[in-house]
Structure 1
Amino acid sequence: MELISQVLGLEPISQVLAKEPIIPFAILLVVILVVPILFERLRLPGLVGLVLSGIVLGPSGWNLFHSDLPVMNLLSDIGLVYLMFVAGLEVDIKLFRRRKNRSLGFGSFTFSVPLVVGTLVGRIFGFGWTAAILIGSLFASHTLLAYPIISRLGLVNSEAVTVTIGATIFTDISALLVLAICVAIHTGSFSLLNLVTLLGWLTVYAFVVLIGFDWAGKEFFRRSGDDESHQFLFVLLSLFLAAVGAQLIGIEKIVGAFLAGLAVNETLGEGPVKEKVVFVGSALFIPIFFVDIGLLIDLPAFVNSQGTMKLTLFIVVGLIASKFIAALLAKVIYRYNWQEMLMMWSLSMPQVGATLAATLVGHRVGLLPPEVLNSVIILMLVTSTLGPLITSRVAGGLMNSLAEEPGLIALSDQNPEGANSTFTIVVPVYNPQTQQYLIEMAALLARQCNGRIVPLAIAPAAAQMDAPRLAVSLQRSEQLLAKASAQSRGLGVTTEPLLRIDDAFAPGISRAAREQKASLILMGWGNRTGLRARLFGNVIDSVLWASHCPVAVTRLVESPKKIQRILVPLENLIAPALQPVLFAQMLAEANQAQVTVLNVWVSEAGRMARGSATATASVSKRRHHHTSSNEIAARRSHLSQLLSKLALSNPPEIQIIAHDNVAQAILQAARLYDLVVLPFIRNKTSPGGLVISDVISQLARELTCSIIILGEPQHTQTALLPTGTPNIKIVV
């Protein structure tokens, strides 16, 4: 590699990079933009590409970057604390409270067993007790890397999954406490008095952060109203104040960052402020931290040292085995079945966030040598790949076992505003190009339910009510409403136009819908995507988050009157989102159309085919042909029972497809349909800012027919379009 550097003339460049911080920052932006995309297309985690980029750019490669560069040091430190802050922010405290006792029980198992095994590994390789215990604490925590998989399949409410998620709080806090104590012992004079003093300060500090920051956050959010920019700055201030406070009492700043994430967890909820906070970290600071990890890896020493490779083998095998033993203990004590045990094992296996952060801290203070850092990087790569793979394979069996249990599916048939209230659909009019199809869709639903259309136009408010800009906006809104009213009357539907002056479009839509007691909001598709939308949000995202009723986001490529074949994919059969079926059925009855409910079964043969040769895949498919037939028949029967509970006058057709890729199966099936109705699924962000492709977003990008994405309110599950509801009002 040194020869390559000399040939390319890279040595002088490294000196220039040390003097000009803008140049390395620009290179880092290119790396974190391009490399994760390339690796995800190769079906590899993006973080793997970032670490490898650090190896290539660092001393083991082209020698362009060094970890001690000022810009690298600063951004990596911010990424380190941000990583642990996001880890605390993404902990589901509600799930922890739901299964608190068992979460603490499994948390103690999956913490203590790996801690003991890791400590033994450290002692076997000649480390002192402090370093060995710190190595054990690296084993103890875990990262919920496979959360998007279980969320998409509807397994979040499974007890095994809930317990594992809840255990994350115990393992991460305990591992960080062990780290704080080990670093304090290593950097200072150890005595029992000093240890008691440190624990006392730590207790007071944790109380101030968890209680004080939580109270301050709720008060600030209550007083600031909807000012997202000030709320965003408050969250960042909480993060860095907690990190500084941790350093003042002599503990690592990542402990404070994690506690700060827990403190503001419930205050932020799942709103747009949290999305922006997570986005800033996952798009910039956290990827730079992973690149910095790659810079620290001594690749020649790792390859040429048998001792390092032996240590790596012991660490990887010890971690996987200890997590398995912990899950097995939970199975025996709490009487879980094998599918639940394997799910708990696979979810608690990945080592990314807290493990990498603690390893880097131990390496910086001189407690852990480079050999341990190299071994932990390999551990991260192995577990971040193996854990989600096992989760995806076990999920199918766990879904089948849960589906057989009674009482898991409960369908709500209550109108969100009461049984006797009017049923209202809100569809704002803003774009004249999409307005006609929206009005036609609303008219179809209104005629089917004997309802009314209320066109809604929002005029952005101004400080002075006689401002020319406001007058122009009001004139344009009145023209849109007049056009919508004329279209509605032409379709034979009573119209009640509504003009509203509000600070912004999204709050205006949500507030008007609430005032009108709306039961559905019908919106056109927005073109605003990408970086700007992620930073500042868009109207659809804000309405989906704030509304009290379901929201139907439509992209209509032809007149709704021409829709004759409607496809409703249902991937999750444990807790299925049946509201899209009800919506599609109502539209079908208004249009004399046919609804087909599609379920895609990712067979074992399909999973094996993705990672094997063609010949092996064909043998595997023949071997599992009988199993596939039985599974498809069982799924068809189960789905038929679910749909029968809806008591539909014209039951939809059922189609089951065995395929190795859910999105591709839906795309192929959708070629024969005019409309696809999809549920809006909120994916929890993986700690560490890992980007995992979502089936719904892929379908929205690649489907060529009309699409409706139906989102439900976050806080309540409402029934949509109950049959036989009179006096329905539709706001357009």
Structure 2
Amino acid sequence: MAIQSLVESPIIAFTILLTVIFTVPPIFEKLRLPGLVGLLVAGVILGENGLKLLNSESDTIKLLSDIGKIYLMFVAGLEIDLEQFRKTKNRSIGFGTLTFLVPLIAGILVGRLFNFGWNSSFLIGSLLASHTLLAYPIVSRLGVVTNEAVTVTIGATIFTDTGALLVLAICVGIHGGEFTALSLATLLGGLAIYSVVVLFGFDWAGKEFFRRSGDEQSNQFLFILLALFLASVGAQVIGVEKIVGAFLAGLAVNDVLGRSPVKEKVEFIGSVLFIPCFFVDMGLLIDIPAFLKTLSSIWLAAVIVIALIGSKFIAAFLAKLFYRYNTAEMLTMWSLSLPQVAATLAAALVAYQTVNPTGERLISEGVLNSVIVLMLVTAILGPVITARSATALQVSDADLGTDSLATWWESHETEVEEQQHQFTVVVPIYNPQTQRYLIEMAALLARHEGGRIVPLAITKALIQMDDPQLVMALDQSQKRLKLAQEISQEFDVEVSPAIRIDDDAALGISRASRERNANLVVMGWSQTTGFRARLFGSVIDSVFWSSHCPVAVTRLLSSPTSIQRILVPVGDLTRQTIGAVRFAQILADVNQAEVVLLHVSDRKTPPALVEKFTSQLLEITTKSQLQVKTNIQTVKGDDVARVIIREAQAFDLAVLRSVRYRTAGGLGVSQVTTQILRELKCSIVLLGEPHS
């Protein structure tokens, strides 16, 4: 009895969940399986069919799973790039209609084939109609996000997810009991009014609150959570499933959050805690005998999987015909729209738990198990096909930049920045031990551009301006600035030292840079990874987000004046990458150094594609008027990070881009850059652009 009561304790259940979330996904990722598969398996092992340590009916599991379910749909709404959608709105709606209707019809036919009622058949169709952009990190890494076919598919997600959730809402309403044309009209009318209130009301309220709250990230975080739960409760009030409200809330605050640190914190809390709880609960619901029975009479699962894959392919093929896309673009659209994770799983669970007065479920256990099989197959198949097909995509002509640091990023603010002012490099200084190399780097760049440097000392604000601690801190800042001025004079460059008193170091740097119309911020290194940095954010993260100009974060092991060989890994031809190439060439021009552009290609990439990429890269380098020795090196390898780390051993400096990859559903994706930063033995410059 004592053991039984321990197992039923909410604290014990929560502790077990945290242990599973902490340990299981990394193990499965090492086996090259999605971490969410591990969570499902853990749920099966710990549930009624296994060790009986967790019970899906317990209040703790129900609460955490419910929060995870709505958080999953909220993040799905947040992850949709509304800017990309606006660029190709018409074609996104067109492809969205195709990739929604064709699978919907296929699902209805499957339902009728297996003798399900019309309502259940429509529900099965809606489960196939949505998609999760699980392979987005792959197209982002390959630098083909700007390709129209990719942009159209991303935009179509709004249409498919919204449509699927509307069908779910109607099917749940019909299944709940007596349903007439009047009640259907009432439901649709209420849903339309509710959607307008959430999408426009929450958007307006969010922008007003963020404008008035300034830098209070804790209150902004709470506001976003409140918006999520208010929208979910509001959906239930009008008789619609709460995940519909969560998704609409995600769309509503999408513009409000942008790429702010608050968005990162909102997604982080969901991805490390609530969403994994939902997947564990999905595992708890799997009845092993019934699941094995579903697999033994494999027809239902097989037909659903084939219907999904076939219908998504037909939709992509029709889009190819209508919009004159090539085969690579069609295959990429197909593979991006294949994975069925976020909306599909959440809607399937809702449908399974919906019981009418006679005790009949909206979908059977067999359909639920088939959907889980569908999720496993498509979550693996989609990204694999994307990785192969997206390598053949053409990217839009990138901005080839100029030979001036003052203009390689100027498209961010062309209307504000006419570059008539003196080129300015702001250098935040704090540590006297590393200050020399930092000032030297900034001075070299400023001298090349005929500009000036602004050594900046940030002093932590106190309530009273005559506080002895503040006086002492200001005195130390003056000493650091004096040293910075002495170092700068060695390079014959104009110096304008500055002290700023501020509550927040990162915002102090960004504000001072904006006030001085800086063209570049050169910072020293600080810890940017790990739990604490992810939860609370680092100074570098905050400056990357809030700065109006590019930021160069440096880890210099020797004087920048001694740099002779510079390595620039090049994975794509986006403007950001070309900016990194220009940065390296300008630094090399100062020291008469050599630049090597390293392109690591997949072993399966056709030689013709690698050759084409190399010729495009050569064209970019030859456009430069700088007399810099620039070589291109191509290496085949499956582990990009390992190849870069190996090749970098022969170089003095590596210039990297700061890129973050996310995927809807809060599923973590390993970052090549993070591994490189951890293991490189040479000096590093990490370039981040505004809002990166």
1:604 is paired with a residue whose SS is coil
2:686 is paired with a residue whose SS is strand
Which whole-Å deviations, capped at 9, do the CAs of 1:183-219 have from their partners, x for residues lacking one?
Answer: 0111121111110111111111111111111111111
Match of 1:36 in 2: 25
Q: CA–CA distance in 2 between the matches of 1:689 and 1:570? A: 27
Which deviates more from structure 2 when the two are superposed, residues 363-372 or residues 502-511? Answer: 363-372
Paired amino acid for 1:420: Q
Match of 1:566 in 2: 566
Which deviates more from structure 2 when the two are superposed, residues 226-235 or residues 489-498? Answer: 489-498
Q: Say yes or no: does 1:689 pair with 2:666.
A: yes
Return closer, same or farther for 1:435/1:194 CA change in 2, 3 Å cut-off. same
Match of 2:358 in 1: none
Q: CA–CA distance in 2 between the matches of 1:410 and 1:452? A: 26
Q: CA–CA distance in 2 between the matches of 1:330 and 1:356? A: 26
Q: Say yes or no: does 1:355 pair with 2:344.
A: yes
Asked if the contact 2:91–2:152 (Cα under 8 Å) also holds between the matched residues in 1, the reply is: yes
Match of 1:640 in 2: 618
Which deviates more from structure 2 when the two are superposed, residues 227-236 or residues 632-641? Answer: 632-641
Match of 1:142 in 2: 131
Match of 1:718 in 2: none
Aligned equivalent of 2:93, options 90, 98, 104: 104
Match of 1:700 in 2: 677
1:62 is paired with a residue whose SS is coil
Asked if the contact 2:268–2:534 (Cα under 8 Å) also holds between the matched residues in 1, the reply is: yes
2:463 is paired with a residue whose SS is coil
Cα shift at 1:343: 0.6
Q: CA–CA distance in 1 between the matches of 2:425 and 2:25? A: 41
Asked if the contact 1:632–1:658 (Cα under 8 Å) also holds between the matched residues in 2, the reply is: no
Paired amino acid for 2:41: L
Match of 2:691 in 1: 714
Matches within 5 A, 1:152-167: 152-167=141-156
Match of 1:374 in 2: 369
Asked if the contact 1:425–1:520 (Cα under 8 Å) also holds between the matched residues in 2, the reply is: yes
Paired amino acid for 1:411: G
Q: CA–CA distance in 1 between the matches of 2:468 and 2:320? A: 70
Q: Say yes or no: does 1:234 pair with 2:223.
A: yes
Which whole-Å deviations, capped at 9, do the CAs of 1:50-103 have from their partners, x for residues lacking one?
Answer: 111111111222221111111111011000000001111111111111111111
Match of 2:527 in 1: 527
Paired amino acid for 2:601: W
Q: CA–CA distance in 1 between the matches of 2:485 and 2:383? A: 52
Q: CA–CA distance in 2 between the matches of 1:574 and 1:483? A: 39
Which whole-Å deviations, capped at 9, do the CAs of 1:559-588 have from their partners, x for residues lacking one?
Answer: 223321100111003656211112111221
Match of 2:413 in 1: none
Asked if the contact 2:73–2:343 (Cα under 8 Å) also holds between the matched residues in 1, the reply is: yes
Matches within 5 A, 1:308-347: 308-347=297-336
Match of 2:252 in 1: 263
Matches within 5 A, 1:81-92: 81-92=70-81
- Runs of at least 5 residues in structure 1 that lack an aligned partner in the other structure: 1-10, 606-626, 716-732
Q: Say yes or no: does 1:470 pair with 2:447.
A: no
Cα shift at 1:476: 2.3
- Runs of at least 5 residues in structure 2 that lack an aligned partner in the other structure: 355-360, 411-416
Q: CA–CA distance in 1 between the matches of 2:187 and 2:645? A: 58
Match of 2:636 in 1: 658
Q: CA–CA distance in 2 between the matches of 1:260 and 1:469? A: 45
Match of 2:357 in 1: none
Match of 1:480 in 2: 480
Q: CA–CA distance in 1 between the matches of 2:4 and 2:623? A: 68
Asked if the contact 1:154–1:576 (Cα under 8 Å) also holds between the matched residues in 2, the reply is: no
Cα shift at 1:409: 4.5
Match of 2:449 in 1: 449
Asked if the contact 2:422–2:452 (Cα under 8 Å) also holds between the matched residues in 1, the reply is: no
Which whole-Å deviations, capped at 9, do the CAs of 1:374-428 have from their partners, x for residues lacking one?
Answer: 1111111110110000000001111xxx26x7x4545367645323311111120
Q: CA–CA distance in 1 between the matches of 2:89 and 2:567? A: 41
Q: CA–CA distance in 2 between the matches of 1:119 and 1:219? A: 44
Asked if the contact 1:91–1:262 (Cα under 8 Å) also holds between the matched residues in 2, the reply is: yes
Return closer, same or farther for 1:380/1:15 CA change in 2, 3 Å cut-off. farther
Match of 1:719 in 2: none
Match of 1:181 in 2: 170
Match of 1:579 in 2: 579
Q: CA–CA distance in 2 between the matches of 1:592 and 1:89? A: 47
TM-score (norm 2): 0.94
Return closer, same or farther for 1:191/1:538 CA change in 2, 3 Å cut-off. same
Q: Say yes or no: does 1:514 pair with 2:509.
A: no
1:552 is paired with a residue whose SS is strand
Which whole-Å deviations, capped at 9, do the CAs of 1:490-548 have from their partners, x for residues lacking one?
Answer: 55544332111112101110111111111110001112532222222111111111111
Asked if the contact 2:525–2:554 (Cα under 8 Å) also holds between the matched residues in 1, the reply is: yes
Matches within 5 A, 1:490-639: 490=490, 492-527=492-527, 529-573=529-573, 577-604=577-604, 628=607, 630-639=608-617
Match of 1:393 in 2: 388
Cα shift at 1:157: 1.2
Cα shift at 1:317: 1.1
Q: CA–CA distance in 1 between the matches of 2:451 and 2:192? A: 60
Which whole-Å deviations, capped at 9, do the CAs of 1:415-442 have from their partners, x for residues lacking one?
Answer: 4532331111112001223212212222
Match of 1:6 in 2: none
Which deviates more from structure 2 when the two are superposed, residues 503-512 or residues 344-353? Answer: 503-512
Match of 1:617 in 2: none
1:652 is paired with a residue whose SS is strand
Cα shift at 1:172: 0.5
Cα shift at 1:456: 0.6
Cα shift at 1:305: 4.6
Paired amino acid for 1:67: S
Q: CA–CA distance in 1 between the matches of 2:73 and 2:648? A: 42
Q: CA–CA distance in 2 between the matches of 1:527 and 1:305? A: 49
Cα shift at 1:249: 0.7
Asked if the contact 1:77–1:289 (Cα under 8 Å) also holds between the matched residues in 2, the reply is: yes
1:455 is paired with a residue whose SS is strand
Asked if the contact 1:460–1:505 (Cα under 8 Å) also holds between the matched residues in 2, the reply is: yes
Paired amino acid for 2:420: N
Displaced runs of 4 or more, over 6 A: none
Match of 1:678 in 2: 656
1:342 is paired with a residue whose SS is helix
Match of 1:16 in 2: 6
Q: CA–CA distance in 2 between the matches of 1:272 and 1:419? A: 29
Cα shift at 1:266: 0.5
Q: CA–CA distance in 2 between the matches of 1:331 and 1:473? A: 64
Match of 1:62 in 2: 51
Q: CA–CA distance in 2 between the matches of 1:259 and 1:176? A: 10
Paired amino acid for 1:709: L
Q: CA–CA distance in 2 between the matches of 1:374 and 1:508? A: 54
Asked if the contact 1:675–1:707 (Cα under 8 Å) also holds between the matched residues in 2, the reply is: yes
2:583 is paired with a residue whose SS is helix
Asked if the contact 2:290–2:365 (Cα under 8 Å) also holds between the matched residues in 1, the reply is: no
Match of 2:238 in 1: 249
Return closer, same or farther for 1:576/1:530 CA change in 2, 3 Å cut-off. closer
Asked if the contact 1:14–1:63 (Cα under 8 Å) also holds between the matched residues in 2, the reply is: no
Asked if the contact 1:303–1:309 (Cα under 8 Å) also holds between the matched residues in 2, the reply is: no
